[in-house]
Structure formats: C-alpha cells, structure tokens
Amino acid sequence: MNKLFLSAKKEILLIIRDVPGLLILFLMPVLLMTVVILAQEYTLNNQLGKTRLLFIDESRSAFSAMLLENINSSGFFNTDTLAFKGVSLKEKANGLIRESKYPVCLCITQGDSIEIISDPALSGPYRANIITPLKYLVRALQTRTIIERMITIPDGDMKALINKTIDESVSRLPAAKESFAGSEKAEIRPTAIQNIVPGFILFAMFFIVIPLAASIINEKHEGAFQRLRTLPVGFGVIIGSKVLVYFMVCLIQFILMMLVGLWVFPHFFGLPRLEIGNNVPAILFATIASSLAAIGFGILVGSASGTMAQASLFGSVMVVMLGVISGTFLPVYVMPKAIQVLSLVSPMRWGIDNYLDVFIRGRGILYILPRSILLLSFFIFAMICSIYIFADRKT
C-alpha cells in the first residue's frame, strides 16, 4: 500500500507542475460549458433576448394596427417602425436587412397583403424560430377578422349578445398547462443548464486523456517503467497509482461543474440554478462509473500511442467526436438516425444518460445500473488491453 501511495504522490507532483495541463483539465471545460449555456440562454431564449423586428405599415388599416399591437404584446419581438423618407419603404427595409441591422421585416402593403423579408445569412433553424411565430400571429389575426366579419349583424342588440357569448365561452376555456414526463414526485424543470451540464461533466472527464496519455508516454520514452520494474514494484501498482490520482482529478472536475451550475450561473448571470435532485447515492455511483471509464480510455490511448503527437491528436479528436455524437453540444434526438444508433456504443453517452436520468428524471441506482455496468466493463476492457500492450512491447 505504501508503494501505491508513493507512486500516486509522484503522479500528483507531475500534474501540479504542468500548469498548461491543469488549465486544460479544469479551466477549459468550464469555460466551454459556460459559453455554450450562455449562448443558448441569451440568444435563443425570447425572454432574455427578443428578436429585433422591422415593421412597415403601408396599409394604415385597423388590421395592421391590431397586428402591430399583437406582435408587441407577444413577448417575442422588439419592434421598430420605419418612417417614410422619400424612398420606397420596402427598398429601405431591404437595405437595413442587408446591413444586418435587422434580421427580419414584416411589411403590410395596400389591401393588408403580408410579406416577410428575412436576412438570407440567417441559419435555417434560427430563421424558423423567427418566421414561425410571425406567421402564427398573422394567421390568427386573419382568422379572427374573418370570423368577426361573418358574425357582423346590423341589429346592435344581437351583435352585443353574440360578442358577450363568445367572450364568456373563451373565458371558460381551460388554460393549457405544461408538464414533463417523469415521476409524479419530480419537481425539477428541464432547462438548458440541466441538459448541458451532464454532457460537459463527461466531456471534462474524458479530456484527461491528454495529460494521462502524456504521463504514460513520457515514462515509456524516459525508461521510467523499466527502472521501476527492476525494483520490487508491480505493474499493477504503477497503473493503479494513475487510476487513483486521475480518479481524484475526475472528482474535482465534477465538483467544479456542479459549483458552476449551482452557484456561478444563478449569482453572476441570473440563470436558473442547476437542480440535481436528492439522490446522492445515484449521483455518486454515476460519477464513479463515468470516471473509471474516462481513466480507462486515457490509459488505453497512452499505452497504444508511440508518441505524444499521436496521443494528443487521436485523444483530442476522439473526445470531441464522442462529445458531438453523445449529446454534449446538441441533444441526440435532433441528430440523424445513423448518428443516434452510433452513439449507443459511446461510453460518453452512457454517462450523460445516467446524469440526465438522475438530475432531470429523478431516477435511482437501479435504473442507471445497466449503463453503469457498461461503463465499468469498458474500464476493465481498456485496462486488459493496456496490460496486454505493455506485455507485448516488454516495456
């Protein structure tokens, strides 16, 4: 046991002395997660950042006035109107949009004809998020106008009665409520933070592949393994010390991500607090399984790589690819079917799904047990392959 702790002490000293490696391990994943969450919350959330809309009213009708009022009260847009200055309003609007001052313009011409002009540089999903609410608002008002015309009756008493009946019927309609699939006792509401933090926990854990592989490769090239094996120190002690130290690194990464979600986002950015539920044993079990899988991946890459360049390139590219297909940056369900199937064999996705089940769906150890067993099996498989590689190379 003393040999294990001495070997672990050596690993800790190597990590502490490598300042760039410390930044990669702890700071880079936190900064990347912060940027992604802030981009989603502030750019796509209408409550935090409304879309600027240019409104052109050449009709000057009751319909256009009502439409402008509905748009302003919808909460989706910050609306600016364009005054006539001796040029075509539509031509002026096109110029403003081409200059990227507005992403979209709603133009109402004579006869209440509607035209929506958008910037061609907008991405498809973002354009859809802007255009779809506008179309619904226009169609709703057009439908309402048609109905009002149909029920227009010369007799004032009858018209008042019909309007009163409609208003009373509308007031009695039940409000649409939003709920989320899960256990009946679950009170956690899914947010961008709830969905993104689990992905970046796994992303950070698997990024230990770079310093872990570097440690193994340096010891192989410098002959440290050969010198240690001349002493009464088994190969299990050497690898076990790395597992122990980097397991603590993964725990620190997990704690950092939790602190950012629980404290930094709500206090500094006014965002919702990360909710993790109260099933601490399940969280701990998921973290242990994910950490060991990430460590196994790092040791396997370090064992199989001949140079630092190989390990850094392969390891970093694989981590990013696994992150992309596993749901770190985008939900898996929005990806093509082939990518969804491919992600099923990704250990990073197993870990992400475990955290999502515990954090959002309120599930416990028994439910995450199958994926946790897969993660632990991946760790054992990686360790067996690494030992075989070292034995084959006689290093």
Is a pLDDT exceeding 70 seen at residue 52? yes
Distance from chain centroid for Cα 232: 48
Strand spans (E) along the chain? 51-57, 77-81, 104-109, 113-118
Which residue from 99, 135, 90, 139 is spatially nearest to 119, judged by alpha carbons? 99
- The whole-number pLDDT of residue 183 equals 46
Higher pLDDT, 379 or 172: 379
CATH superfamily of domain region 47-161:
abc type-2 transporter like domain (3.40.1710.10)
Listed range (48-57, 282-291, 313-322) with the worst mean pLDDT? 48-57
- The whole-number pLDDT of residue 188 equals 53
Is a pLDDT exceeding 50 seen at residue 205? yes
3 state SS of 353: helix
Higher pLDDT, 252 or 81: 252
For 225-240, what is each residue's pLDDT tens digit? 555 555 555 566 778 8
Is a pLDDT exceeding 50 seen at residue 37? yes
* CA–CA distance, 275 with 271 (Å, rounded to integer): 12
- The whole-number pLDDT of residue 234 equals 59
- Mean pLDDT across 171-197: 59
The set of residues, in sequence order, having a beta carbon less than 8 Å from that of 63 and lying 6+ positions away, is: 108, 112, 141, 145
CB of 256 closer than 8 Å to CB of 30: yes
Domain ranges of the chain: 2-43+187-393, 47-161
Mean pLDDT over the full length of the chain: 79
- The whole-number pLDDT of residue 378 equals 96
Q: Let me know if 122 is exposed, middle or buried by CB neighbors in 10 A (0-12, 13-18, 19+).
A: middle
- The whole-number pLDDT of residue 395 equals 45
For 109-123, what is each residue's pLDDT tens digit? 878 888 888 887 776
* CA–CA distance, 83 with 341 (Å, rounded to integer): 54
Q: Let me know if 316 is exposed, middle or buried by CB neighbors in 10 A (0-12, 13-18, 19+).
A: middle
- The whole-number pLDDT of residue 189 equals 56
Residue in this structure with the two tokens 């490769």, named with its chain if needed: 217
CB of 98 closer than 8 Å to CB of 120: no
